[in-house]
Structure 1
Amino acid sequence: MMAANAAPSFAQEAAVPAAAQAPQSSSNDGGSIGDIVVTAQKREQRLQDVGLSVTALSAETLANKRISTLADIAQAVPGLVYTQSQTGTPVYTLRGVGFFESSLAAYPDVSTYIDQVPLPLPTTATLTAFDLDRVEVLRGPQGTLFGNNATGGAINFIAAKPTDNFVAGGSIGYGRFNTFSADGYVGGPLSDTVRARASFKIVKGDDWQKSYTREATTGKTDTAAARLLIDWDASDRLKISLNINGWLDRSDPTSPQYVKLTPQNPAGTPGIGGVVPADLPILNYPLTPRNARATDFNTTFPPRANDRLWQTAVRADYDVVDGITATSITSYLDTRLRKDLEYDGTSLEAYDIVNKTGRIKSFSQELRLANDGSGGIRWVVGGNFESTKVGESSLNLSGASTSALINGFTQSLFASQQKMKNYAGFGNVEYKITPEITLKGGVRYTQANRNTVSSNSQDPNYPDPGALGVTQFFNIVWGSLGFIYPNYRPITVGQSFVLDNRLGADGLPLDPSTYGTAGLFRGSLKENNTSWSVGVDYKVDPDILLYANVSQGYKAGSFPDVAAATWSQFQSIKQESLLDYEAGFKAQFANRTITVNGAAFYYDYQDKQLRAKIVDGIFGLLDGLVNVPKSKVKGAELSVNMRPVRGLTINMSGTYLDTEVRSYNGVVAAATDPATGLRVPVRQSYAGARLPFSPKVQLGADFLYEMPLTDTLGGFFGADVSAQSKSYAVLAATAQDKQDFTVPRRTLFGVNAGIRAADSSWRLAFWGKNVFNKYYTLNTILSYDTLIRYAGRPAEYGVSLSFKM
């Protein structure tokens, strides 16, 4: 099994049943669908010839559908769901498999790469989608191909490469919200043995969200990204590639919408700071109207960000002997983040995050040896190592919340330092036993280690700690429980107040030396697993392929990012595993003018990782991470791609998912134990509940019609539609949860039309996204006193002029 963010060995050799798949090339007769070809291990192969489920979005598709963000990619790929998190960390769910956790150090269920180079954590992939040859979305656990943390699948961005001839091009655009964009590239030979390509993209736009209670706006776009690729043919046997890329994001994080009051302490509740009054502003704040642009936010600390990344990667391919190549891929990545975040959806300081900072430093190294597949056997063996360090901190402000009066404090400072190291060895083989039948198998062993130091304390630099301040509050609370925690000693401002309350199954302290004391939480997690895959491809004839695969993948365990009061909240969750049974077909008919691809699958999902509620004896319901012992996913997908007449391309696809929890008794409420006065969990079976962000039906369709207007001028017109049924933002066991956390069904339309030069040297396009201004939501989150939702962007439209030489 490959390490957590190891590069794929030859994942590009996958087949494409994708909805939004657009042909990379077409035959001269204008009728047949051209081959979608990818290169892996110095050979080209039609994706239609390999039995794996992948969506390929070509450069043409990316341009026609204005796909430039991670959310755009998800909208174009049925089965893939993009979720907006409170911290801005992107979360992908593929075929119902995803991990909604906003911690910077949380590995995803759907891993991302750029040219086989890992983007180890979700934030690092934020601005990768520019100057691309294609995007590949691989479904299902990738096992030996991508390794750990790809139980849901993987997304591989393929950058446009340096060429042997001079090329240059770019585009400028203008759209709604006064959005200007510009991108460009230049490349070609620097010498007989060196080629290079440089590219950039800049987007700047005005605020798209506005307050519904006063004159204030937020939501600006301000991004820049660049990439430099250099290929060097050092000798006949040695080729070296350099990739230097980076991005800067100063856009405003999305502000949520306040849709329901969920007071932690209703009016009349007494506490240290007094009784919660009925006229407390948060208890009487107006709800957000049903308008995508409507929101409210703290103007003292409005949503803002200053995030940046740079990455350097070097790949070397050396032909050891004829037919065998050694490959080294080395990468170093450095990411810095600084944000102020709106969490409660009001102008009050009921729950906001200020000065959230983060730093990600990641090094990875892969070494592998592979043959060229001659003689009917193709093999690869190798190993890799990854080391990632993540530090993050955030100041939580809650002075306007109902709890501020009850508890007497208004702020706390959460911080953590995590270190992850992953080691792996892998092997994969494909054996063509007859011209029609190929057997496939692979195995990978992974050792995953993680350490964390986490804390929660009073920030001595914040001027308003509250009536007591969080330090004094916990000194009072923990001190009053001396009969339970006799080892407690008072802390001072700046020290962590998080208390070790951990008990074993026998009811005794897990660590008597720290039990009942407050301080830094130190945790470690050491896990190993063996991922594997087996399969068979049957080539019925040159245009029909049948395949069947069984594969098992794993995702490493994790520590949560929560403002904890006790060490039990910081406890880790163990690794999850997914066993995939899958069969499919790929077929082309009518002189390859029609492509029909389909697959059916069944997932046996063990120990799914989930952010959920746990119960603290003092504070009741708090956030934490849990494992869901048993779940299942079954489904099917189908895509049809056609060129019925010259110039017309039609793509249609759909995915059906049936997800279900089979075994999990989870917390639904907190009650008070009359004997001790402590809060205890109220549990309920979640059996039968659907997994979060897993709509049962997702559909997509698009067409593009190109026609000549004159000998030197052509025209084009296209449209696309994507639809999905309702889903839930949480594991919903109660009727109230289903009502509060429903992500409603939606159907979105896009259009593009324009003119172009007959030789494709320039192109003028007019485009629209969500053209009917459909109001839809991406996520719903319980944020202490308020229930908030994140709305999708409203209708957008614009014009772009592109050119190439």
Structure 2
Amino acid sequence: MTSVPALAQQASAAGIDAEIVVTAQKREERLQDVGLTVAAIGANRLSEARVNSLADIALVVPGLVFAPSALTTPVYTLRGVGFNESSFSAYPNVSLYIDQAPLSLPVLSTLVAFDLERVEVLKGPQGTLFGNNSTGGAINFIAAKPTKDFHAGAELGYGRFNTLDVAAFVSGSLTDTLTARLAVKAIKSGDWQYSYTRKDGIGKTDNAAARLILNWEPSDRLTISLNANGWRNRNDPVGPQYFRLRLQNAVGSTGPAGSVPATLPILTYPFAPQNARATDWNPAAPPYLRSNLWQTTLRADLEVTDSITLTSITGYTDFNLVNRIEYDGTALTVGDLIRNTGGIQSFTQEVRLAGKLDNGFRWVLGANYGADDVLETGVISSRDTSNFPTNNLPGNIYDSDQHMRNYAVFGSLEYPLTPDLTLKGGIRYTEAHRRVASSDRESSDLSPPIATAFFNAVWSSLSFIYPNYRPIQRFDSFAIDNRLNANGTPLDPATYGTAGVYRSSLKEHNVSWSVGADYKIGPDALVYVNASRGYKAGSYPNLAAATWSQFEAVTQESIMAYELGAKTQFLDRRITLNAAAFYYRYNDKQLRAKIVDAIFAQLDGLVNVPKSTVVGGEIEATIRPVDAMTVNISATYIPTAKIKNYQGVSGVAIDPATFLFVPVRQSYKGARLPFAPKWQLSASARYGFPLMSNANGFVGGSVTAQSRTLSQPAITLADRRDFTIIGRAVFGLNAGLEDPNGAWKVTLWGKNIFNKYYWNNVIQAYDTVGRFPARPAEYGISVGWKI
């Protein structure tokens, strides 16, 4: 996607960010004084890198990996810790915030990255201050704030694929005590992908976003800030590229609903060419997306005394979505999400007291409450699949109604034992409650209406397994309770063998904690050591299933993390060099993996991986050899990110007694965690030079690179071949003219200038395996001005 450079900065035309101040510990402090690994990207660098989304941020922050999911829900993985789950209701491992207000679910972050002062990426568990669901880390978007003086600006850009983008802001005082800032952006483009079997196209961009911030200071001790932002997204989903045929059942296989014919259309369907723009889809049901978000946050800061501040942050978010997803990357119906709808209502409240004593002792005490209600419904069809129990069925509708409530109290302490040595610690107690109602039933959108009759016939024929089964009515849930205890007895004798709506609840609690020490070696050198434990709440999936066992939850996961780091500056702070090493013990990792449904065979589901390990290190350098030049280099190296103990599904077999599918399992010990490349690199350089009295020139370039990784753990050669995400190096360039005082700027830019073909995810959709390609080469021009 072409992006509008950030207009947030009121910085010098040299395009170099001043030394960054961050709020990683929920107070402002110099980045180099924070004993944590934090990647902070200022407004000018966001502009030069043309950052417009978290997908773009992942390109400039090594260790952070972005992947689109099958349902367009973004997946974020940080240092090998992530949750590759596409359900709207799935909490992330990397928590997201805007000005410390939670964006509790990943899909809510789609269009938040505009008019920003900076972005902070906190690496490692952040459970004590940022709460549950931050086992990988936390990302905080800091919006540009209102100014007392009047400022305004606009930027207009045009790029490849007829992309037109515009952004603008206005900021200033409304009264002596009230300031405001209004920012807007919009992007519109034509199709960037095409069908390789006919003349057709998809991939248009059409979105708009706005943010209003009001700051009111009724007294010297009280500040109240209102942040109201929203967006409208009509971007087409990325079309997958069909490149591998993996039949679930061989031609000629037979079962209760028929057999796999030799005329199955997918057997002769051509693979997509190795071109990012090539894809295919059902022309009668082209993919689309329509989503809207509105968020309001109210923050109040009251200085109770000169050394104690009371802070309240209240947030409400409303989100809705309707889309159609092309799963299989063909014009057939091997696996298509005909319609997917969803809604999210989220409320959050945090109250905290923060203080500092004369001896430098700092403390924070607080409490959190969060409520997330998520409704999601999908209509899926797989009539062209080799899965013979379903290849004669037009499709089905599955839904999930989930309600999550989270409660927490937390505190942190920092004590300067000596002028150079500071001890620190934090603790948080969390309770997470979740209840769900899930079902799978015949769809009124698809014909003929035979699904209910089919499942009544199947379940009735298995009376020796399910003697309590009673036929259901059309549009009732056909999912049957097949859950068993470890000893083979029914988990719930009252519902075992009956079909209906799956209802369940999950209540969990945990104690996150952190301890550490910071040691200053002079004014420009810091060494720190941290140990922390973080948790991520359990999760229920939303998926098509014939049995209740597929709807079951995964329980909470935890990480025990150890980190040693150093931050240094020298040569009059012209060189900044930071480094860190980390070791994670990863227990009960939540994984989107293949599970076996008795009727649908292999489906995506959720499992806990008992034990995993992550070991790595990273380095970051900023070099300013002259005032007008900045070089940024950062890299992450993770030699170990592997599973230690997990028996996973490697295939299916047919039970000869029941003709139902049963799993074939194997050990995944040693398999690498998904989206965890061994190394990642990001480097950029920018040089400005005078041309005339009223204009300076500038040139810049960037490269982002990473080694290959996998979209799911793989043991077999076939899995490693099919689910590999190749390594790549992607280059960008920019050059232009700007006013020495920052009043105007003209930029020529290019992204992925060598048109590198690569992909961000690989997903199996029944019989097909498809890649989700990254965008090809893009280039354009932008013109901006500010007053």
Describe the SS at the equivalent of 2:561. strand
Name the counterpart of 1:495: 476
Name stretches of at least 5 consecutive residues in structure 1 with no aligned partner. Answer: 1-21
Q: For 2:664, which of 682, 685, 692 is the aligned residue? A: 682
Question: Residues of 2 paired with 1:632 and 1:778: CA distance?
Answer: 23
Q: Which residue of 2 aligns with 1:15?
A: none
Partner of 1:517: 498
Q: CA deviation at 1:373?
A: 5.2
Q: What is the aligned counterpart of 2:321 among 337, 358, 362?
A: 337
CA shift, 1:301, in A, is 1.3
Distance 1:33 1:113, change over 3 A: closer
> 2:588 matched to which residue of 1?
607
Q: CA deviation at 1:275?
A: 4.4
Instruction: Tell me the equivalent position of 1:472.
Output: 453
Deviation string for 1:454-503 (max 9, x for gaps)?
000001243344xxx22111111100000110110111211000000000
**How far did residue 271 of structure 1 move?**
5.3
Mapping of residues 70-81 of structure 1, within 5 Å: 70-81=54-65
Corresponding residue for 2:757? Answer: 775
Match of 1:111 in 2: 95
Shift of 1:736: 1.2
Could you tell me which residue of structure 2 aligns to residue 757 of structure 1? Answer: 739
2:128 partner SS: coil
Alignment check: 8 A CA contact 2:256 2:659 kept: no
Are the aligned partners of 1:169 and 1:803 in contact in 2 as well (CA < 8 Å)?
A: yes
Q: CA 1:551/1:747 → structure 2, altered by over 3 Å: closer, same or farther?
A: same
- The answer as to 2:379 corresponding to 1:395 is yes
The aligned counterpart of 1:666 is 648
- Quote the Cα distance in structure 1 between the aligned partners of 2:440 and 2:9: 56
- The alpha-carbon deviation at position 677 of structure 1 amounts to 5.0
Aligned to 1:5: none
Matched-pair contact (CA < 8 Å) for 2:322–2:339: yes
**Pairing of 1:626-775 with structure 2 (within 5 A):** 626-657=607-638, 658-674=640-656, 677-775=659-757
Q: Is the 8 A contact 2:479 2:545 kept in 1?
A: yes
**CA shift for structure 1 position 733:** 1.5
Alignment partner of 2:521: what SS? Answer: strand
Give the equivalent residue in structure 2 for 1:136. Answer: 120
SS, match of residue 693 in structure 2: coil
CA separation of 1:40 and 1:652: change in aligned 2, threshold 3 A: closer
What are the residue-to-residue correspondences of 1:563-582 with 2, within 5 Å?
A: 563-582=544-563
Write the deviation string for residues 203-224 of structure 1: whole angstroms up to 9, x where unpaired: 0000000000001100000000
Query: Which residue of structure 2 lines up, in the alignment, with residue 6 of structure 1?
Result: none
- Give me the whole-angstrom Cα distance separating, in 1, the residues matched to 2:599 and 2:24: 57
**Are the counterparts in 2 of residues 408 and 470 from structure 1 also a CA contact under 8 Å?**
no
Aligned pair in 2 of structure 1 residues 323, 555: CA closer, same or farther (>3 Å)? same
1:557 aligns to 2:516 (yes or no): no
Q: What is the distance in 2 between the residues matched to 1:514 and 1:300?
A: 41
CA distance in 2, matches of 1:494, 1:617: 21
Aligned residue identity for 1:180: L
Equivalent residue, structure 2, for 1:203 = 187
Letter paired with 1:268: G
Please say if residues 59 and 134 of structure 1, whose CA atoms lie closer than 8 Å, have aligned partners that are also in contact. yes
What does residue range 333-372 of structure 1 map to in structure 2 within 5 Å? 333-372=317-356
Separation in structure 1 between the aligned mates of residue 26 and residue 263 of structure 2, nearest angstrom = 70
Q: 2:577 aligned to 578, 584, 596, which one?
A: 596
Tell me the equivalent position of 1:18. Answer: none
Deviates more, 1:177-186 or 1:729-738: 729-738
Q: 1:406 to 1:496 in 2, by over 3 A?
A: closer
Deviations 1:353-394 (A, max 9, x none): 122100000101111111145421110101010011000101
Aligned to 1:4: none
1:624, distance to aligned residue in structure 2 (A): 1.6
CA distance in 2, matches of 1:280, 1:38: 58
Q: Give the match for residue 587 of structure 1.
A: 568
Contact between 1:26 and 1:34, CA under 8 Å: does it hold in 2? no
Looking at structure 2, the residues matched to 271 and 381 of structure 1 have their Cα atoms a distance apart, in angstroms, of 61
**C-alpha RMSD over aligned residues:** 1.9
- Any stretches of 5+ residues in structure 2 without a counterpart? 1-5
Shift of 1:518: 0.2
- The alpha-carbon distance between structure 1 residues 392 and 195, as it changes in their structure 2 partners (threshold 3 A), is same
710 and 374 in structure 1: CA distance in 2 versus 1, 3 angstrom threshold: farther
User: 1:346-495 counterparts in 2 under 5 A?
Assistant: 346-372=330-356, 374-403=358-387, 408-465=392-449, 469-495=450-476
SS in 2 for 1:306: strand
Which range moved further: 748-757 or 395-404? 395-404
Instruction: Please give the secondary structure, in 2, of the residue aligned with 1:509.
Output: coil
Matched with 1:175 is 159
SS at match of 1:60: helix
Residue 328 of structure 1: aligned partner: 312
AA matched with 1:564: A
Q: Does 1:90 align with 2:74?
A: yes
Distance 2:598 2:258 in 1: 23
Q: 1:750 corresponds to which letter in structure 2? A: G
The residue identity in structure 1 corresponding to 2:563 is E
Residue deviations 1:664-683 (CA, integer Å, cap 9, x gap): 11121223445665543222
Q: 1:738 to 1:373 in 2, by over 3 A?
A: farther
Match of 1:283 among 254, 267, 273: 267
Map of 2:3 onto structure 1? none
The correspondence for 2:769, drawn from 772, 776, 787, is: 787
Task: Calculate the TM-score normalised by the size of structure 1.
Answer: 0.94
**Alpha-carbon contact 1:32-1:593 (below 8 Å) kept:** no
* Residues 454 and 520 in structure 1, CA contact (< 8 A), matched pair in contact too: yes
In structure 2, the residue matched to 1:262 is: 246
SS at match of 1:123: helix
Tell me, in whole angstroms, the C-alpha distance in 1 between the residues paired with 2:325 and 2:682: 33
**CA spacing shift, 1:295–1:67, aligned 2, 3 Å:** same
Q: Measure how far apart 1:348 and its partner are.
A: 1.3
Per the alignment, residue 530 of structure 1 pairs with 511
Secondary structure (helix, strand or coil) at the match of 2:538 reads coil
> How far 1:284 moved relative to its partner?
0.8
Identify the range of structure 1 (382-391 vs 276-285) with the bigger mean alpha-carbon deviation. 276-285
- Report if aligned partners of 2:547, 2:598 keep a CA contact under 8 Å in 1: no
For 1:65 and 1:219, locate their aligned partners in 2 and report how far apart those are by CA, in whole Å: 22
Structure 2 counterpart of 1:301: 285
SS in structure 2 opposite 1:321?
coil
Classify the secondary structure of the residue corresponding to 1:145: helix
**Number of aligned residue pairs:** 779
2: CA distance, partners of 1:531 / 1:40: 17
- CA gap 1:304/1:673 in 2 versus in 1, 3 angstroms: closer
> Contact 2:259–2:388 at 8 Å: present in 1 too?
no
Runs of 4+ aligned residues of structure 1 deviating over 6 Å after TM superposition are 24-28, 30-33, 40-43
Cα distance in 2, alignment partners of residues 745 and 235 from structure 1 = 55
- CA positional deviation for 1:621: 2.7
Which amino acid counterpart does residue 650 of structure 2 have in structure 1?
V
CA separation of 1:120 and 1:146: change in aligned 2, threshold 3 A: same
- Counterpart in 1 of 2:213? 229
Please state if 1:623 is matched with 2:607. Answer: no
Deviates more, 1:34-43 or 1:174-183: 34-43
Q: 2:648 and 2:546 mapped to 1: Cα distance?
A: 20
Identity %, equivalent residues: 56
Q: Which residue of 2 aligns with 1:102?
A: 86
Q: Under a length normalisation based on structure 2, what TM-score does the superposition of the two structures give?
A: 0.96
Larger displacement relative to structure 2 (90-99 or 615-624): 615-624
